[in-house]
Amino acid sequence: MQKLYMLNVCNLMRLEIHDFPNCYVAHGNFTQVTEFILTGVSEHPDLQIPLFFLFLVIYGLTVTGNLSIITLTSMDSHLQTPMYFFLRHLAIINLGNSTVIAPKMLINFLVKKQTTSYYECATQLGGFLVFIVAEVLLLAVMAYDCYVAICNPLLYMVVVSQRICLLLVSLTYFYSFCTSIVTSSSVFSMTYCSSNVINHFYSDTVPLLALSCSDTSVPEAVIYISASTNLVFSIITVVASYFNIVLSILKIRSSEGRKRAFSTCASHITAVSVFYGTLLCMYLQPQANHSMGADKMASMFYTLVIPMLNPMIYSLRNKDMKAALKRFIRNPCCF
């Protein structure tokens, strides 16, 4: 009797009963999805195990590198400056962003049915938004820190005091958390009553809204306004900061002074270039060339590759970090 009722409901909506393997009847007139299926990185069965080991190595390097930065910048007395304070929180954000995505992704490589529950999907989306928005804002904060250090060195400890550092980081986390709550709530306020297959390897806004059977204009507007506002603010701050930094470096007469000034922010320039380069390549490509495959590739950079690369960038290009690592290896007890 219940199955017959479900069939009648689905027929009214011009849908087939096999599209609803994980749904229930709500309000007596539509079916509500309770579980989503992730298509993953690749649908080819032969690639699942090789991809599992590839991303396991990437995630292992991400955890090792970011935990190393968090440990060194927390315990080494030579790294107790605003620059390394912000770097520590960037490592926390990178580690969190990767951890929200990678474990579930690795599990799905090993199982036949790559499912995620409704609430698990909502939690993953919320966590992803917290860390990605926090990274966008923190890169702008770190660019401002480099600007003050090079353009106003005499006022550096006043302008970027410990209290200001704590305030900037706290506001970053608070704003990103609020943005995540508003955006994920708007996405999951939609009705999901058709296909439950997410064409992605994690719960993201675009593939989720593509599944909704209700009007998505409001969540689309929320996502567009939030993303554009955050990106424009961050990019303007970064570009303006480094424009003034370059002008200040060019005014330095000695080549040694210019070299030292540039080395102060070289690591951050590299990290920002990789991060925003990925964003611009994704969003500035022609709409005709835009595909879900391109979205997946860009998402891999946000969630997996960049969190792995950042510790290498800041460690290999930074003399203080390399010196702190050598001190730690020689005598861990001194930390």
Between CA 258 and CA 229 the distance in angstroms is: 34
pLDDT the model gives residue 334: 59
Confidence of residue 124 (pLDDT cuts 50, 70, 90): very high
Residues 162-219 pLDDT 10s: 999 999 999 999 999 999 999 999 998 888 876 788 888 888 888 888 888 888 888 8
* CB-CB contact of 298 with 305 (8 Å): no
Q: How many residues are listed for the chain in this entry?
A: 335
Give pLDDT, residue 282. 63
The Cα 131–Cα 148 span in angstroms is 25
Contacts of 247-254 with CB under 8 Å at 24 or more apart are: 248/150, 248/151, 249/150
- Quick one: pLDDT band at residue 333, thresholds 50, 70, 90? low
Q: Return all residues near 139 (Cβ < 8 A) that are at least 6 apart.
A: 90, 234, 238, 268, 271, 272, 275
> Does 10 have pLDDT greater than 60?
no
Does 291 score more than 80 pLDDT?
A: no
Please, what are the domains in the chain?
A: 1-33 (no CATH), 35-334 (1.20.1070.10)
Between CA 182 and CA 38, with CA 210 as vertex, the angle to 5 degrees is 95
pLDDT of residue 130: 95
* Model pLDDT for residues 19-74, shown as the tens digit of each residue: 444 444 444 444 567 788 888 887 788 888 999 999 999 999 999 999 999 998 88
Q: Please count the other Cβ atoms lying within 10 Å of the Cβ belonging to residue 202.
A: 23
Burial of 328 (0-12, 13-18, 19+ CB in 10 A): middle
pLDDT at 335: 56
Measured CA to CA, the distance from residue 169 to residue 181 in angstroms comes to 18
Which pair of tokens denotes residue 171? 């506001």
- % pLDDT > 70, the chain: 84
pLDDT interval class at 249 (50, 70, 90): confident
pTM for the model stands at: 0.84
The chain-wide mean pLDDT, for the chain, equals: 81
- Enter the tokens of residue 305: 């590759």
Distance CA 272, CA 137 (A): 12
41-45-50 Cα angle (round to 5): 70
Does residue 287 surpass a pLDDT of 60?
Answer: no
What confidence category does residue 116 fall into, taking pLDDT thresholds of 50, 70 and 90? confident
Range with the largest mean pLDDT of 109-113, 125-129, 297-301: 125-129
Residue 14 has pLDDT above 50, yes or no: no
Q: What is the mean pLDDT of residues 142-151?
A: 89
**DSSP secondary-structure letter at 304?**
I
In 3-state terms the chain splits into helix, strand, coil percentages (rounded to 5) of 75, 5, 20
Measured at the CA of 236, the angle between CA 179 and CA 249, to 5 degrees, comes to: 135
pLDDT digits 0-9 by tens, 73-111 = 888 878 888 989 999 999 999 999 999 999 999 998 888
